[in-house]
Homo-oligomer: A and B are copies of this chain.
Amino acid sequence: MSVSVAYSARQTASCNAATGTIERLGVRIAYSKDEEIFGQEEPADLIYQVVSGAVRTSRLLSDGRRQIGDFYYPGDIFGLESGSEHRFSAEALRDSVILIVKRSALRGQDGAALERAIWEATTRELERTQEHLLLLGRKTACEKVACFLMDVVARCGGHGGELPMGRQDIADYLGLTIETVSRMLSQLQSTSMVEFDALRRFRVMNPQGMARLAA
């Protein structure tokens, strides 16, 4: 069941400057599927890096509506969304190992490297959030799903991808319902854009077409 193999390339490729430093200063903690890593409105004095597994950040409205902020894969840093208090909670999408560091470990020469890693992760986060904004505000259901799949492909490398999250998580990420996500996936398959080997494993069959849809 070691799906993490699919993402192993990223682990070394991304956040290269940070990884060494964070590993030395941080502590590893294992989380099981759906376990909360941190909660909304908790103080945000720690930063987190996915070692293995996958993570989602999410925000709940009082009546239960949910928006997912982003998904994080091995090598990704998360938990730095705000100034002092978390505005999103974070949960493990499946059994995961997370490396945790105190933000205040900004002392000594390791401090500079860590600070730089935090800065890079923050600007990357902002960039992705802005892309997400455009998707939620101005894209159709079909475009949203196509964008999502292409983003997963870009993160995995190659022409296919493995989805560590369920359909409900995808729906809450895209601002859709689970039924609409399902319908769009079916439509993309019937038009030979993608092919699903299993519920969570797919390949892109028509990259140009998908790129056009992902606009």
Contact = CB atoms under 8 A, between A and B. Distances in A.
Interface stretch (A15-23, A25-33, A62-70, A188-196): A62-70
Interface residues of A, number: 34
Interface string A101-136: 000000000000000000100111111011111101
B215 A133 contact: no
Contacts of A65: 138
Contacts of A215: 61-63
A124 B84 CA distance: 11
5 contacts: A63-B215, A66-B138, A67-B137, A82-B126, A133-B133
Interface string A128-172: 011111101111000000000000000000000000000000001
Nearest to A132: B133
Interface string A60-101: 011101110100000000000111000110000000000000
Interface of A: 59, 61-63, 65-67, 69, 81-83, 87-88, 119, 122-127, 129-134, 136-139, 172, 174-175, 215
Contacts of A130: 59, 69, 81-82, 87-88, 129
Q: Considering residues A62, A87, A130, A174, which has the most beta carbons from chain B within 10 angstroms of its beta carbon?
A: A130
A139 B66 CA distance: 10
Contacts of A61: 134, 138-139, 215
A67 to B, nearest CB: 4
A-B complex: 7 closest residue pairs judged by Cβ atoms: A137-B175, A136-B136, A65-B138, A67-B137, A67-B134, A136-B137, A129-B129
A129 B134 contact: no
Contacts of A124: 83
Nearest to A136: B136
Contact of A129 (B66, B126, B174): B126
Contacts of A122: 122-123, 126
Given A62-B215, A82-B123, A215-B62, A129 B133 contact: yes
Given A81-B130, A136-B137, 8 more contacts: A66-B138, A67-B138, A69-B130, A81-B127, A82-B127, A83-B124, A137-B172, A138-B175
